[in-house]
């Protein structure tokens, strides 16, 4: 498999999951600014939408969209329990989290990274994000991970998008459950390996 990524972008989530699952996966950097690979290849020729993550399977089939990619990866290594069994309520809870993170958190960060977003709109977005994170804080009480003691694909996604807060002026430092959770996830060997591979963690 080949996973196209951009350092620190939402593609960090499937990068983490691939490592957690122990799957052989070649990672290829694709700039979200120039839309080129390191060798100058036009990324639009590989993924017409031009964004990451983008997964190319060994048989040539492709998958877009991070929440779908992490489900596929998790299902390749069910023994790792990164995603509960098909049909179980626990699986639907993880999917519920993936959708919440994708629609309520991930997409809300987008305008904060765009230079053409009106300045008076950004505080509104930050306030809305803050409210969502205050709710997440409550959900983390008494838990190691979103589903309790088991790390899942939803944790890889929440960790990834939450790391963007410091880059957009969203202060989450006063949310102790969240901060402990992010430190816990960040200390996992697979997470450390993904961060190091993307140049986000120095030895």
Query: Is 203 contained in some domain?
Result: no
Show the DSSP H helices in 140-203 as ranges: 153-162, 165-168, 176-186, 189-197
In a shared domain, residues 106 and 72: no
The full DSSP string for 64-116 is ESHHHHHHHHHHT-GGG-SSPPTT-HHHHHHHHHHHHIIIIIIHHHHHHH-TT
* Predicted pLDDT of residue 132: 98
Confidence of residue 203 (pLDDT cuts 50, 70, 90): low
Confidence of residue 169 (pLDDT cuts 50, 70, 90): very high
Query: Is 159 contained in some domain?
Result: yes
The CATH number of the domain holding residue 57 is: 3.40.30.10
62 φ, ψ (degrees, to nearest 5): -130, 155
In a shared domain, residues 109 and 177: yes
In this prediction, residues 137-162 reach a mean pLDDT of 98
The CATH number of the domain holding residue 151 is: 1.20.1050.10
Structure confidence by residue, pLDDT tens digits, 6-33? 999 999 999 999 999 999 999 999 998 9
Query: Is 100 contained in some domain?
Result: yes
Q: How many domains does the chain have?
A: 2
Give the range of the structural domain holding residue 115, as residue numbers without chain letter: 89-188
Query: Is 47 contained in some domain?
Result: yes
Separation CA 108–CA 37 (nearest Å): 27
Query: Is 166 contained in some domain?
Result: yes
Cα Rg, the chain, nearest whole Å: 17
Of all residues in the chain, the percent with pLDDT exceeding 90 is 98
């Amino acid at each position: 498999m080949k996973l196209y990524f951009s350092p620190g972008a939402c593609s960090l989530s499937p990068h983490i999951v691939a490592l957690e699952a122990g799957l052989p996966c070649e990672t290829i950097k694709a700039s979200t600014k120039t839309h080129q690979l390191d060798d100058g290849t036009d990324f639009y020729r590989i993924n017409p939408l031009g964004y990451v993550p983008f997964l190319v399977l060994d048989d040539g089939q492709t998958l877009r969209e991070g929440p779908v990619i992490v489900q596929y990866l998790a299902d390749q290594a069910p023994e790792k329990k990164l995603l509960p069994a098909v049909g179980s309520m626990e699986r639907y809870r993880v999917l519920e989290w993936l959708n919440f993170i994708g629609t309520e958190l991930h997409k809300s960060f987008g305008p904060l990274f765009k230079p053409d977003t009106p300045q008076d709109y950004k505080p509104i977005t930050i306030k809305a994000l803050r409210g969502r994170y205050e709710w997440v804080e409550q959900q983390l009480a008494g838990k190691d991970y979103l589903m309790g003691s088991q790390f899942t694909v939803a944790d890889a996604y929440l960790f990834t998008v939450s790391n963007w807060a410091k880059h957009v002026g969203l202060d989450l430092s006063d949310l102790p459950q969240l901060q402990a959770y992010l430190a816990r996830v960040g200390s996992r060997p697979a997470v450390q390996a993904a961060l190091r591979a993307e140049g986000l963690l120095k030895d």
